[in-house]
């Protein structure tokens, strides 16, 4: 059972501040946004898959102010803590499979950050294939996830992730990320790899179709 929603409600008006502080223990979203913009300086139509309550969406909207940004999740209150520039942002409670069927080859940048470890292994291929269908032929995917290590911060993240969300989270290895991406986009699809502060467990990759 997930206890995260109950704990969050206890903070009342301070929920957003506490959530940001908690998240910063594990990942610097501003540093991730800077890395993202360095890899893909310009984008017109962006899809963020698994946006949750909108923390990363705020950063994406800020670094790509002229882009049309669609942020999706299956959570009932998608984007509820978003406080960024909203003029070009659309939140939808929708799966990426539904988006891909409705708007194939429509997004020149797709962002999938810290989502896949919550997805059961048997459903991951379908999700990534749908991302490939939604991506334009020359588009970019930025995929970030937390990887396995034998460190105290890894075990802290694992326990807190499972306890707060109630999900049976399963992380990747560094090599596993590359293999997983190659299954959909082909060998050589990973163009850049970097870590995101403050921990080397945060691994991000820039993906483009292998034939490019």
Domain ranges of the chain: 4-207
- C-alpha pair distances (Å), 204 with each of 15, 27, 91, 184: 27, 12, 24, 17
CA distance 89 to 17: 22
Collapse the DSSP code of 119 into the 3-class scheme (helix H, G, I; strand E, B; otherwise coil) and give the result. Answer: coil
pLDDT for residue 8: 58
Over residues 103-116, the pLDDT tens digits come to: 999 999 999 999 99
Superfamily of domain 4-207: Vaccinia Virus protein VP39 (3.40.50.150)
pLDDT, tens only, 147-199: 999 999 999 999 999 988 889 999 999 999 999 999 999 999 999 999 999 99
Residue 200: which pLDDT band, with cuts at 50, 70 and 90? very high
Please tell me the predicted confidence (pLDDT) of residue 15: 83
**Nearest C-alpha neighbor of 93 from the set 59, 52, 61, 55:** 52
Which of 109, 97, 81, 76 lies closest to 14, judged by CA?
81
Largest CA distance in the chain: 51
| 115: CB partners within 8 A, 6+ apart | 49, 50, 145
Average pLDDT, the chain: 93
């Amino acid at each position: 059972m997930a206890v995260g929603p109950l704990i969050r409600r206890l903070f009342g008006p301070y929920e957003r501040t506490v959530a940001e502080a908690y998240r910063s223990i594990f990942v610097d979203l501003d540093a991730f946004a800077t890395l993202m913009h360095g890899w893909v300086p310009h984008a017109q139509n962006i899809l963020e898959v698994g946006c949750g309550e909108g923390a990363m969406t705020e950063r994406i909207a800020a670094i790509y102010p002229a882009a049309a940004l669609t942020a999706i999740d299956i959570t009932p209150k998608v984007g509820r803590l978003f406080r960024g520039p909203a003029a070009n942002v659309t939140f939808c409670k929708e799966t990426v499979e539904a988006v891909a069927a409705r708007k194939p080859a429509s997004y020149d940048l797709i962002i999938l950050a810290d989502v896949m470890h919550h997805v059961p292994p048997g459903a991951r291929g379908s999700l990534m294939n749908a991302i490939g269908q939604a991506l334009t032929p020359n588009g970019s995917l930025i995929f970030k996830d937390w990887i396995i290590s034998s460190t105290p911060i890894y075990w802290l993240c694992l326990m807190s992730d499972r306890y707060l969300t109630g999900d049976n989270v399963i992380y990747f290895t560094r090599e596993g990320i590359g293999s997983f991406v190659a299954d959909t986009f082909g060998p050589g699809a990973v163009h850049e790899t970097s870590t995101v502060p403050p921990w080397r467990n945060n691994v991000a990759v820039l993906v483009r179709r292998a034939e490019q």
